[in-house]
Amino acid sequence: MVAQQHYVNATEAIWDVLFTFNAAGAARPGVETDGTYIYTSQWNGPNFGKFENQGGTWTLVSEFTIAGASEIRDMAYDGTYFYGGSASTTIYKMDFNTQTLVGTIATSGVGVRHIGYDPVNQGFWTGNWSDLYLVSMTGATLQTANVGLSAMYGNAYDGVSAGGPYLWIHDQSGSGVDIHQMSIATMTLTGVMHAATDLPGFLAGSIAGGLASDNGNLVPGKFILLVNVQQDPNLVGAYELAASTGGGGGGAAPSNLLGYNVYRNGTFIAYVEKPTTEYYDLYLDPGHYCYDVTAVYDFKCVWIPGRYHRRVVGRRAIVCRYQLRLSYSVDGRLGHGQLHIQQLELCTGSGPLEDQQHDGQCRTEC
């Protein structure tokens, strides 16, 4: 099935419409992406739709079901798993590659209609029509936000736009498809709002569905907001919000990224599992230390592009050596140091692995 699609000539401005396409039918309000595919979910049934960009046209390649997960309203993605709720107090954790339910997370009474993953707080912004909470990955309520909206259906994290991070909220009040910006720092609306009535193919009277964000994967160079409008069939559109800062929007990372190995002076000291992107090396004596970070991918059985066209089976690590030298003294006294490594995802991109350069010398290692 080829979805109906519209492309718009866009300038560099917020709310430029980059593309739209139709979902497989009505009642598919959930939307999320892993940076390669765009997925939809069905609020009154079990179906998930998988869309692929085929020559500039977003095309439905399959609909599938996941046993134990149904009637999903909105979705979130943490770089490995997809999450969603059926307006109950359960968050469903799903693997879209294997099309299986990995587990469930019970909230502390929070109804899960809209949901977005926050990679900084490592939790979910979620709630029902008129409430919004920050919930941990184990279901504990961490924060409560009172934004004054009464018909929220989708939300998405934005760590790229200037002045953020923000949470974008899709609300059925007002025009029916109002998109509001909330400052995560203050948990209040900023006053920035846009009605999605300008999406090509929008039908009068349609209402808000889910939201998702992507950082330079779906549209190179652009941080975008995916918007799902509930009509027949559902309409999915992409707004430009800002220039991208590299791959991985809304927590998204390459779907086959497993985690990171951290080395000190050539010795392995820790494995950091995705989606965590920080590591603290505590209680060091004053001195000189060299840290290496390797991003570990599970390529399984794939073709790696490049002049060698080698088939890679198994697990490989793409290694960036940055030779970070840290030295300090504490008035001649012994003390404890702390290393805080941020943004561990140092090697990403396309092209031959042997030739990649990312602000340092990269090499491959089995």
The token pair at 175 is 């025009």
Q: DSSP per residue over 122-180, as a string?
A: TEEEEESTT-EEEEETTS-EEEEE----S-EEEEEEESSSTT--EEEEEESSTTTTEEE
| pLDDT of the residue at 254 | 60
- The single-letter code of the amino acid at 213 is S
| pLDDT of the residue at 98 | 95
How distant is the alpha carbon of residue 165 from its chain centre?
Answer: 14
CA angle at 246 for the pair 138 and 171, rounded to the nearest 5°: 55
**286 CB neighbour count, 10 Å cutoff:** 15
| pLDDT of the residue at 133 | 98
| pLDDT of the residue at 134 | 98
Q: DSSP per residue over 269-292, as a string?
A: EEEEETT--EEEEEEEPSS-B-EE
Q: How far is CA 226 from CA 121, 213, 273, 323, 336, in A?
A: 22, 6, 27, 39, 46
Can you tell me the distance from the alpha carbon of 253 to that of 36, in angstroms, rounded to the nearest whole number? 10
**29 CB neighbour count, 10 Å cutoff:** 29
- The single-letter code of the amino acid at 222 is K
Can you tell me the distance from the alpha carbon of 316 to that of 366, in angstroms, rounded to the nearest whole number? 5
| pLDDT of the residue at 153 | 98
Domains defined for the chain, CATH in brackets? 5-251 (2.120.10.30), 257-365 (no CATH)
Longest dimension (CA), the chain: 73
Task: Tell if the pTM clears 0.75, that is, is over it.
Answer: no
> How are strands ordered across the β-sheet holding 38-41?
30-33, 38-41, 48-54, 57-64
Can you tell me the distance from the alpha carbon of 173 to that of 275, in angstroms, rounded to the nearest whole number? 34
Considering only CA atoms, which of 195, 246, 258 is closest in space to residue 216? 246
Place of tokens 């299986």: 100
22 backbone dihedrals φ, ψ, rounded to 5°:
-90, 140
Give the 3-state secondary structure of residue 19. Answer: strand
pLDDT tens for the chain, residues 1 to 366 = 434 444 444 445 799 999 999 999 999 999 999 999 999 999 999 999 999 999 889 999 999 999 999 999 999 999 999 999 999 999 999 999 999 999 999 999 999 999 999 999 999 999 999 999 999 999 999 999 999 999 999 999 999 999 999 999 999 999 999 999 999 999 999 999 999 999 999 999 999 999 999 999 999 999 999 999 999 999 999 999 999 985 433 444 566 678 888 888 889 999 888 777 778 888 888 877 777 888 787 654 333 333 323 333 343 443 333 333 333 333 333 333 333 333 333 333 333 333 333 333 333 332
Check if the beta carbon of residue 171 is closer than 8 Å to that of residue 147.
Answer: no
| pLDDT of the residue at 19 | 97
Check if the beta carbon of residue 341 is closer than 8 Å to that of residue 278.
Answer: yes
Can you tell me the distance from the alpha carbon of 265 to that of 291, in angstroms, rounded to the nearest whole number? 6
The token pair at 313 is 């089976």
- Beta strands 75-77 and 82-84 are antiparallel
| pLDDT of the residue at 224 | 97
Can you tell me the distance from the alpha carbon of 245 to that of 37, in angstroms, rounded to the nearest whole number? 20
